[in-house]
């Protein structure tokens, strides 16, 4: 299975980045790729075996889907690994570098959309996350 990696450098502390990445209220504010989409709901049971679940939806109501994963490994402020409902793996690493946090997310590609489309979509969400963190510290 092809792996795709997206990365971002976020101005802030690792505690702030970790908390905004995992808090359901915060997730609802950044977890979408395009301005005409939103995340109307998010739940996060951040523990091994716990469930991450969010809904991404077009603001006009024309389309929505649920993103769901189960946690496999968690090292606070450093690493998260989970698998999606279709068993694809996702791994997130973060590292404090001076006044920035370097965050890298690697995931198994699916076979319905092009690699480029998947990379662009996940990168857009990660860019939204960066902007949200940097404007809400």
Homologous superfamily of the 3-135 domain (CATH): START domain (3.30.530.20)
Q: Where are the domains of the chain?
A: 3-135
The greatest distance separating any two alpha carbons of the chain, rounded to the nearest whole angstrom, comes to: 43
Nearest CA to 30 out of 67, 4, 64, 56 is that of: 56
Angle between helices 14-22 and 115-135 (to 10 degrees): 120
How far is Cα 63 from Cα 53, in angstroms, rounded to an integer? 17
For the segment 76-122, what is each residue's pLDDT rounded down to a tens digit? Answer: 999 999 999 999 999 999 999 999 999 999 999 999 999 999 999 99
Q: What pLDDT is attached to residue 137?
A: 82
For the segment 8-63, what is each residue's pLDDT rounded down to a tens digit? Answer: 999 999 999 999 999 999 999 999 999 999 999 999 999 999 999 999 999 999 99
Q: What pLDDT is attached to residue 1?
A: 83
Q: What pLDDT is attached to residue 90?
A: 98
Query: Is it the case that residue 132 has pLDDT exceeding 90?
Result: yes
H/E element, 33: none
The answer to pTM > 0.85 is yes
Q: What pLDDT is attached to residue 77?
A: 98
């Amino acid at each position: 299975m092809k792996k795709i990696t997206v990365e971002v450098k976020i101005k802030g502390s690792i505690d702030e980045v970790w908390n905004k990445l995992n808090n359901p209220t915060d997730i609802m504010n950044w977890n979408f790729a395009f301005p005409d989409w939103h995340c109307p709901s998010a739940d996060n049971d951040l523990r091994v075996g716990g469930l991450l679940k969010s809904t991404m939806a077009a603001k006009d109501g024309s389309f929505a889907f649920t993103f769901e994963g189960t946690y496999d490994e968690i090292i606070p402020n450093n690493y998260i690994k989970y698998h999606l409902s279709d068993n694809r793996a996702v791994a997130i690493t973060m590292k404090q570098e001076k006044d920035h946090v370097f965050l890298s997310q690697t995931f198994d590609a699916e076979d319905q959309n092009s690699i480029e489309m998947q990379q662009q979509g996940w990168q857009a969400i990660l860019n939204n996350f960066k902007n949200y963190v940097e404007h809400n510290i």
